[in-house]
Chain A
Amino acid sequence: MSFWDKMQNMDRRWVYLMVAVAVIIPFFATPDLPISITPEAQMLYDAVEAVPDSSTVFVVFDYYPSTIAECEPMAISALRHFYRKDCKVITLSNIPLGGPSMAERVTREIALEYDKVYGEDFVNLGYKANYVAVMSGMGTSIESIFPADNSGTPLSELPMMDSVVNYDQVAFIFEIADNATADYWVSIVNAQYGIPIGCGTTAVSAPKYYAFVGAGQFVGLLGGMKGAAEYELLIGHSGSAVLGMGAQSLVHLLIIFLVIVGNLGFFLGRRGKSGEIS
């Protein structure tokens, strides 16, 4: 068995070990790398900047805990950006596993940094089942879909909600999603009510949403942890996404190296020589 054949049959756990080492090293020897801003992230930042101060906005927590590493830095940056502009923030979630809990925790944590008061500066509507009905129904009346907030307080008892009836009073929607709910914010809310939507999404979903940015249905896009890092830099508040870029770089380089070695092994090894390549 040649060297390349041995490489082809390497125990997968060696690959796992290499990935683990590549992801750990940068946390102890942080490389200082310039992070470029993509036009899509810049467009989103500019669109949020263009929202009039003190407007009412939505920050939607449409992600599961599984993608917290990619999506939470986006949510934190979006909240910081809106709180800085004194916007009234309404949060909600269409995710039944963890969405409302994460919205509650993150929104309250960031609110403390800006002395924001619950019920006056921000409200967490929580969750309601069947997201197409929720998105569509809020076009007529938010209170009919969410009679109470996430803690069960009737919306009529929250001062901030006095002046908010439906989408007519909402200036911007910042959708942070790891699933297809973003498609329905586009097809139902943006298309029918014309509200500008900015999207932060996982890297897995990002390529699809370039089509929405190109059509003007999203005013900007953050793709994955890199997108989150870009937004952190744009608002001037580095966080976990910027910190993660070192590890992200090293693991990408490792995977590219593995792909090259795998292909070399395939072509130079037994299977390549026996003419298995078509």
Chain B
Amino acid sequence: MKTTIPVAVAFVAGVVLVVSFFFDEGTWVGGISQEFKIWMTIVGGFTILLGAVSITRVNWSAVQRKKEGWPYKLLTLISIFVMAIPSVLPNTWSPLFGRDVGSIYDWLFTYLDSPMMATMFATLAFYIASAAYRAFRARTAESTVLLVTATVVMLWRVPMGEAFLNMFPGDIPNWLNTYVMNGANLAVQRGIIIGAALGAASMSLRIILGIERTYMGKG
């Protein structure tokens, strides 16, 4: 029962969505399929909610047991509640509640969460510069091709570099766009897209037919 019911559910749900692809939206199959899609958004929402609750539980447990670094985890917990609680209260009580512009939720996102996330990713510029200096080596013929292409593309994509490339004859920027980006690069990306899509389709078929069950976990 622990495996049969889930496999049956995945089969029915998958088959309905596959079959509906071949029918008009107004048919009964189309109707069921649309209803399933609405259900998907709801179940999908719960999975994200599960993640948020899980983070809260993990941090709560660490604070209770006074694990190493627990004051920081307490800060995480406080941040979760300060953000979440005002957002679930109705904005008819106060404009500070809810999620609209002017609410606590929106303020905390705009002035704390958003700049912090942007900064965390901005630090990657320093790391990639350091990595380029330390590890980007022309050790073999293949890595030399990679290095030369990267360098020329870096030049081409900025005004100063493009001005430099234009000092040479042969309209190098246009050649790069045509034969590197829309030639070799496009071909490789297309190969990867086709390969990955075939993989995704076959994995989907395995899930629908109950051959692939690893998503259920153990037990």
Q: Which A positions have Cβ atoms within 8 angstroms of B?
A: 8, 12, 15-16, 18-20, 23, 31, 33-36, 38-39, 64-69, 96-98, 101-102, 104-105, 108, 128-130, 132-134, 136-137, 139-141, 144-145, 150-151, 187, 203, 207-211, 213-215, 223-224, 226, 245-246, 248-256, 258-259, 261-263, 266, 277-278
Contact = CB atoms under 8 A, between A and B. Distances in A.
B129 A15 contact: yes
Interface string B10-52: 0000000000000001000010001001101111110110000
27 contacts: A8-B134, A15-B126, A15-B133, A19-B129, A31-B160, A33-B159, A34-B159, A65-B115, A104-B100, A104-B101, A129-B47, A133-B37, A133-B38, A133-B44, A136-B37, A144-B38, A207-B185, A211-B193, A253-B160, A255-B129, A255-B132, A256-B151, A259-B133, A261-B133, A263-B136, A266-B137, A278-B139
B114 interface: yes
A12 B173 CA distance: 33
A141 B34 contact: yes
Contacts of A262: 132-134, 136-137
Contacts of B163: 33-34
A211 B189 contact: yes
Nearest to A8: B134
B125 interface: yes
A140 B120 CA distance: 39
B159 A249 contact: yes
Residue of B126, B133, B186 most packed against chain A (CB within 10 A) = B133
A67 B193 CA distance: 24
B64 interface: no
Interface of B is mostly: helix
B30 to A, nearest CB: 7
Contacts of B100: 104, 151
B147 A133 contact: no
Contacts of A36: 159, 162, 173
B94 interface: no
Contact of B186 (A105, A210, A256): A210
Interface in B150-164: 151, 154-155, 157-163
A137 B158 contact: no
B45 A19 contact: no
A98 B114 contact: yes
A112 to B, nearest CB: 13
B211 interface: no
A133 B44 CA distance: 9
Contact of A263 (B113, B137, B177): B137
Nearest to B31: A140
A231 B159 CA distance: 15
Given A133-B37, A249-B158, A255-B128, 7 more contacts: A137-B40, A246-B159, A249-B159, A256-B151, A261-B133, A262-B132, A263-B147
B190 interface: yes
Contacts of B158: 226, 245, 248-249, 252-253
B118 interface: yes
Given A15-B130, A263-B138, A101 B110 contact: yes
Contact of B126 (A19, A35, A214, A261): A19
Contact of A210 (B106, B109, B185): B185
A218 to B, nearest CB: 12
Contacts of B202: none
Contacts of B3: none
Contacts of A226: 157-158
Contacts of B140: 278
Nearest to A130: B44
Contacts of B1: none
A223 B114 CA distance: 22
A66 B34 contact: no
B189 to A, nearest CB: 4
B82 interface: no
B47 A69 contact: no
A266 B147 CA distance: 14
